[in-house]
Amino acid sequence: MEEYIMDVELDNERTILKTFSRTVEGAVDNMVKIEGVQKLFNIGNTDTQETWEFEEDITKLRNLRNKLPENIEMFFSVGEN
């Protein structure tokens, strides 16, 4: 399990949240699951010092995810082709 620092917009305020996940994709999914998070600006892996920067509204991703069953396993990647 790795620690990620997430720079987000939460309830219309920019703030930093910490989350734990095996992958950066899981860290993104953790933010999608938090209803008040509207935007994702930056992700930092505290163990590897890797960072990903973007400014994305994640409400559409949340709407899509909410259509999936709770027990589904999701696999996607960030920054890979």
If one counts the domains in the chain, the total is 1
Q: Is residue 74 part of a domain?
A: no
pLDDT at 80 over 60: no
Q: Is residue 12 part of a domain?
A: yes
The 10s digit of each residue's pLDDT in 8-39 is 999 999 999 999 999 999 999 999 999 999 99
The answer to whether 14 and 7 are in contact (CB under 8 A) is yes
pLDDT at 69 over 80: no
User: Which structural domain, as residue segments, surrounds residue 21?
Assistant: 2-66
Q: Is residue 71 part of a domain?
A: no
Q: Is residue 41 part of a domain?
A: yes
Q: How confident is the model at residue 71 (pLDDT cuts 50, 70, 90)?
A: confident
Q: Which of 1, 78, 80, 81 lies closest to 43 in space, CA to CA?
A: 78
